Amino acid sequence: MTGAPPSAARRRLLAAGGSLTLVFALGRARGQAENAAGAGKLPGSLDKEAWLDAWIRIDGANRITVFTGKAELGQGIRTALLQVAAEELAVAPARLTLVMADTARTPDEGYTAGSHSMQDSGSALRHAAAEVRTILARLAARRFGVEAGAVQAADGFMRAPDGRRASYGELLAGRQIHQRATGLAAPRDPAAHTVVGKSLARIDIPAKVAGAVAYVQDLRLPGMVHARVVRPPAQGARLLGVDLDAAARLPGVLKVVRDGRFLAVIADQEYRAVKAAMALARSTRWDLPQALPAAHDTAALLRALPGAPATILARGAAGAPGRVLRAAYTRPYQLHASVGPSCAIARLHDARLTVWTHSQGVFPLRAALSELLGMPKEAVRCIHVEGSGCYGHNGADDVAADAALLARALPGRPVRVQWMREEEHAWEPFGAPMLCEVQATLGTDGRIADWQYTVHSPAHNTRPGKAGNLLAATHLERPFAAPPPKPAPQPEGAGDRNAIPYYLLPNARVAQRFLGAGPLRSSALRSLGAYGNVFAIESFMDELALAAGADPLAFRLRHLDDARAVETVREAARRFGWERWQRPGRGQQRRGRGFAFARYKNLAAYCALAVEVEVALETGLVRVVRAVAAVDCGEVVNPDGVRNQIEGGIIQSASWSLLERVGFDSREVLTRDWGAYPILRFAQAPDRIDVHLLDRPGQPFLGTGEAAQGPTAAAIANAVFDACGLRFRDLPLDRARVREAGRGR
Amino acid sequence: MSTYHLRVNGADYAVDSDPDTPLLYVLRNELKLNGAKFGCGLGQCGSCTVTLDGAAVFSCLVPVASVGARPVGTVEGLGQGDRLGVLQQAFVDEQAAQCGYCIAGMIMRAASLLAANPAPSDAQIRRHMQPNLCRCGTHMRILRAVRRAADASRAQPPKGQP
């Protein structure tokens, strides 16, 4: 974006207010220092969108509006970004209005994903706001006839030493600061922070506990109608026949749509749409081929898929002497399983399409919808409205495509599409299965002398950008083909995310065998491959420690040299009471402790975790009794927000790791409700979770939302081994598997 | 279509609806109450939990024709805006939400417990909340919020709270 003129949308906004171009020579400051690595790069997303008035606008009444391309997904980013902007603008957070992810109004920050929001948008807002404050101070200094350094910003006013003051709005007189960020304005000294670093209560929660309009599901637009889609039983199914009239003759039905295998009904009332869709579904006849692999063993399924290994790390040489250990770990297809199924509203009016969506990426979605409908991008607007938590690429984009297609079928009316539970369970893009094969040589010095690792996995990212990434687009009479998925480059990676251990390994080779699209559609699920890779690496570290006769904690520390990693590991162990922990007396349930550590993506937050589990071999039930985490995510903006994310990550990962597996036979997905695909309920929740933060004021933000997923899985498996001597290398450690393994023990 | 007389959060409403329409859709679309959420339509997740005669029910499974004169309670009836009810305030105080989609259902499930048992044990709270799903993993905070509300209600009996 840098160097490009303002977008059409931005120009429309600018036309409303007029702008102010002021160029001040700003001294070299932290903004530049932090970005010394990338010469001339501006902090975070400022590098893509440098116009200050794309981020911050102040009107004549001193109302301040802040813009971000990131979206609130329930992770609390709205509150954290407000804190960052409020701190630099020297106003209370409640004074700011934050506009999030809207293709007509906000910067394009791609997807809200990958624990990137604080790094991308938090950094951008911090530096944009610091620069705006600096410019306002210069304007005030000029007005007051004093030195800029003598002007103080507080509560939306600039004050001179003699008490004279002018509001930010007065200083700008209705104009905007339309100039590019330099990155040279100094953010506030962390020691002086009054808003950042504090546990400001989430600003969205009061509305949610009171039943106010809070979700896209709650929007009611004038003239809105309700639609439901009838899906094929499986992606490969062929429609042999359908009686459209079976639905069309029902009360309230406004339209029955058929385009190839894409079938839908639109009705005046929501439950009438539900009933009409059921009637339409009953009238369909399908050819359902045996297109899926019969193998239910994840390792066999993945070994059978084609794909050549690509080396992502080659260090030192193979062949070091010592004791060789080998193991293979798997993770099955798993669900995002949002509690609220996906929903969207679309309206086609005057050749312009507006879509209200809980997509993680409104700009990529706009591109995909514009291709799907053959409309220019400028004629499509995607507005983010919160939905149920998504944890990655769930049905959000697909339901937006459904709504767009149906809005085209019924122009002028807002069409609301609500997926049913069975649709979300069967058709969301699944978290991709993984097979992780590892071999290590343990030297006589008790260290890892050689490490070889290969991860086999299909696509972890099939997000839109292209129409073919939208489910309905692949079912049309003239279908859009899903573009061939590609692996993502290191260091972030996708299936190979965190496949490279964060340990000192003088001789190591790591490879990824990327398996393309796989038999079932898969895409980004919170932490992508980091979940399976950290599960494998951290389980194997315990296996190696056992072979080396070392304490698992001491063995890890032997292989860590990053001081922050060491401190995080030690902090988790200390808070858990690792050294003094004693196994409770043998009752019906066996207790054990387990440890795991990872630095997410090897470049974001550090997370170390110790858990205590109880294992009932008779029933196979494993429960985490207590979990203690230590997290270093750089400078902490909202401590309680980070704790909430880590607690949630631990419980969600415990649910994946103890319960979750997509079931399918040779024809179709079988796990289509919460009975067939259970997730963790209160009875299996821990007694206690403690999250300890190692705050690093002044250090860059390190994304934290996905940091706990991998360590939790491994810590549980390690604790189960400690409790009963059974090493589980296949996820999930569900009751059937544990009961079977524990038979006779 | 028939006309049904419903008593919701202490107010009387007449709604025209097909008799088999689940109460959930009537609350959301006819009465414009957002608290109860669609989650599964199968009685498996609790997102749609409301109280019917004080007991927690899955409103996705209750046909509107079967409600009759029994009073319906939704989260909107516990408090609004600056005047939140004890349970709602406890969820705010504990920051017991991430995406929050399940929270209104959680609160109504908890309300039915506290109405019947103002001094539940921690084990009773856990058992009572079992039907409701949270995918964000906010369980510890939700349990704390219910505990806090129970303690607060006993310390200061609410006036006119359901």
Label residues A611-631 b or e (16+ Cβ within 10 Å = b): bbbbbbbeebbbbbbbbbbbb
Cβ neighbours of A534 (radius 10 Å) = 33
**A210 to B84: CB separation less than 8 angstroms, yes or no:** yes
A647-682 per-position pLDDT tens digit = 999 999 999 999 999 999 999 999 999 999 999 999
Contact criterion met (CB below 8 Å) for A540 and A655: no
Does the pLDDT at position A502 exceed 80? Answer: yes
Assign A589 a pLDDT band (cuts: 50, 70, 90).
confident
**A202 to B37: CB separation less than 8 angstroms, yes or no:** no
Of A73, A205, A421, which is closest to B41 when you measure between CB atoms?
A421
**A270 to B129: CB separation less than 8 angstroms, yes or no:** no
Assign A19 a pLDDT band (cuts: 50, 70, 90).
low
Contact criterion met (CB below 8 Å) for B4 and B15: yes
What is d(CA A107, CA A6) in angstroms, rounded to the nearest whole number?
10
Whether A584 and chain B come into contact, CB under 8 Å, resolves to: no
- Residues of B in Cβ contact (< 8 Å) with A275: 20
**B127 to A685: CB separation less than 8 angstroms, yes or no:** no
Q: What's residue A587's pLDDT?
A: 72
- Residues of B in Cβ contact (< 8 Å) with A649: 137
- Quote the DSSP letter at residue A28: P
Domain boundaries, chain B: 2-77, 78-155
- Residues of A in Cβ contact (< 8 Å) with B74: 211
What is d(CA A54, CA A106) in angstroms, rounded to the nearest whole number?
7
What is d(CA A62, CA A47) in angstroms, rounded to the nearest whole number?
27
Mean pLDDT of B140-156: 93
What is d(CA A517, CA A279) in angstroms, rounded to the nearest whole number?
33
Q: What's residue A294's pLDDT?
A: 78
Whether B103 and chain A come into contact, CB under 8 Å, resolves to: yes
Residues 587-626 of A with CB under 8 A from B: none
User: Distance between alpha carbon A55 and the CA centroid of its chain, in Å?
Assistant: 23
Q: What's residue A124's pLDDT?
A: 97
Q: What is the pairing mode between strands A56-58 and A64-68?
A: antiparallel
Assign A11 a pLDDT band (cuts: 50, 70, 90).
very low
Whether B59 and chain A come into contact, CB under 8 Å, resolves to: no
Contact criterion met (CB below 8 Å) for A530 and A705: no
Assign A209 a pLDDT band (cuts: 50, 70, 90).
very high
Q: What's residue A22's pLDDT?
A: 52
Mean pLDDT of A414-440: 98
Main-chain dihedrals φ then ψ at residue A334, nearest 5 degrees: -135, 165
Whether B9 and chain A come into contact, CB under 8 Å, resolves to: no
Residue in B with minimal Cα distance to A215? B101
- Look at A32-36, A323-327, A646-650, B125-129 and tell me which has the smallest mean pLDDT: A32-36
Distance spanning both ends of chain B, measured CA to CA? 31
What is d(CA A634, CA A605) in angstroms, rounded to the nearest whole number?
7
Q: In the CATH scheme, what architecture does the domain B2-77 have?
A: Roll (3.10)
Assign A25 a pLDDT band (cuts: 50, 70, 90).
very low
**A215 to B101: CB separation less than 8 angstroms, yes or no:** yes
Does the pLDDT at position B91 exceed 80? Answer: yes
CA quadruple B14, A217, A642, A34: dihedral sign: negative
Q: What's residue A13's pLDDT?
A: 47
The yes or no reply on domain B78-155 and CATH 1.10.150.120 is: yes
* One-letter-per-residue 3-state SS of B17-55: ECCCCEHHHHHHHHCCCCCCCCCCCCCCCCCCEEEECCE
Assign B154 a pLDDT band (cuts: 50, 70, 90).
confident
pTM comes to 0.95
Amino acid at A102: D
Q: Which two tokens stand for residue A18?
A: 């007029």
What is the least distance, in Å, from the CA of A122 to any CA of chain B? Answer: 19
What is d(CA A556, CA A541) in angstroms, rounded to the nearest whole number?
7
Contact criterion met (CB below 8 Å) for A632 and A562: no
Of B34, B42, B98, which is closest to A218 when you measure between CB atoms?
B34
What is d(CA B113, CA A743) in angstroms, rounded to the nearest whole number?
39
Cβ neighbours of A526 (radius 10 Å) = 25
**A211 to B34: CB separation less than 8 angstroms, yes or no:** yes
Q: Which of A235, A613, A199 is nearest to A430 (CA)?
A: A235
**B66 Cβ contact list (under 8 Å, min separation 6):** none
Of B99, B127, B129, which is closest to A74 when you measure between CB atoms?
B99
Dump strand ranges (E) for A527-664: 590-599, 606-616, 621-632
**B40 to A673: CB separation less than 8 angstroms, yes or no:** yes
What is the least distance, in Å, from the CA of A391 to any CA of chain B? Answer: 8
A287-327 per-position pLDDT tens digit = 999 999 976 799 999 999 999 999 999 999 999 999 999 99
Of A73, A206, A270, which is closest to B92 when you measure between CB atoms?
A206
Of A204, A206, A269, which is closest to B29 when you measure between CB atoms?
A269
Asked if omega into A491 is within 30° of 0 (cis), the reply is yes
**A675 to B126: CB separation less than 8 angstroms, yes or no:** no
When scoring A208, A226, A399, A425 by the number of chain B Cβ atoms within 10 A, the one with the most, hence best to mutate, is A208
**A198 Cβ contact list (under 8 Å, min separation 6):** A83, A638, A639
A576-585 per-position pLDDT tens digit = 999 999 998 7
Mean pLDDT of A453-460: 98
Does the pLDDT at position A18 exceed 80? Answer: no
**B42 to A674: CB separation less than 8 angstroms, yes or no:** yes
What is the least distance, in Å, from the CA of A163 to any CA of chain B? Answer: 35
A210-256 per-position pLDDT tens digit = 999 999 999 999 999 999 999 999 999 999 999 999 999 999 999 99
Q: Which of A297, A528, A536 is nearest to A431 (CA)?
A: A528
Instruction: Identify the structural domains of chain A with CATH numbers, from first to last.
Output: 8-189 (3.30.365.10), 216-288+336-427 (3.30.365.10), 434-460+495-742 (3.30.365.10)
What is d(CA A165, CA A146) in angstroms, rounded to the nearest whole number?
12
Q: Which residues face A230 on adjacent strands?
A: A263
Whether A685 and chain B come into contact, CB under 8 Å, resolves to: yes
**A641 Cβ contact list (under 8 Å, min separation 6):** A75, A76, A79, A80, A199, A202
Mean pLDDT of A550-557: 97
- Residues of A in Cβ contact (< 8 Å) with B56: none
Residue A163 vs residues A61, A167, A403, A414, B145: alpha-carbon distances, Å:
21, 13, 56, 54, 46
Mean pLDDT of B89-112: 98
Q: What's residue A12's pLDDT?
A: 45
Q: What is the pairing mode between strands B49-52 and B11-17?
A: unpaired
A336-352 per-position pLDDT tens digit = 999 999 999 999 999 99
Mean pLDDT of A446-457: 98
Q: What's residue A584's pLDDT?
A: 86
Does the pLDDT at position B157 exceed 90? Answer: no
Whether A585 and chain B come into contact, CB under 8 Å, resolves to: no
What is the least distance, in Å, from the CA of A674 to any CA of chain B? Answer: 6
Q: Which of A420, A367, A377 is nearest to A397 (CA)?
A: A367
- Quote the DSSP letter at residue A161: T
**A572 Cβ contact list (under 8 Å, min separation 6):** A595, A597, A608, A609, A610, A628, A629, A630, A692
Q: Is A454 helix (H, G, I), strand (E, B) or coil?
A: strand
Does the pLDDT at position A34 exceed 50? Answer: no
Q: What's residue B102's pLDDT?
A: 98
- Residues of A in Cβ contact (< 8 Å) with B41: 274, 420-421
Q: Which of A684, A679, A682 is nearest to B113 (CA)?
A: A682
**Please, what is the average pLDDT of chain B?**
95
- Look at A32-41, A596-605, A736-745 and tell me which has the smallest mean pLDDT: A32-41
Q: What's residue B118's pLDDT?
A: 95
Q: What's residue A296's pLDDT?
A: 73
B47's torsion region: left (phi>0), alpha (psi -120 to 50) or beta?
alpha
What are the percentages of helix, strand and coil residues in chain A, rounded to 5? 35, 20, 45
In chain B, the largest separation of any two C-alpha atoms, in whole Å, equals 48
Whether B2 and chain A come into contact, CB under 8 Å, resolves to: no
Does the pLDDT at position A29 exceed 50? Answer: no
**Please, what is the average pLDDT of chain A?**
94
Residues 394-453 of A with CB under 8 A from B: 418, 420-421
* % of chain A residues with pLDDT over 70: 94
**B133 to A209: CB separation less than 8 angstroms, yes or no:** no
When scoring B29, B34, B83 by the number of chain A Cβ atoms within 10 A, the one with the most, hence best to mutate, is B34
Contact criterion met (CB below 8 Å) for B12 and B6: yes
Label residues A3-36 b or e (16+ Cβ within 10 Å = b): eeebbebbeebbeebebbeeebebeebbbbebbe
A38-47 per-position pLDDT tens digit = 457 999 999 9
Residues 338-357 of A with CB under 8 A from B: 338-341
Whether A148 and chain B come into contact, CB under 8 Å, resolves to: no
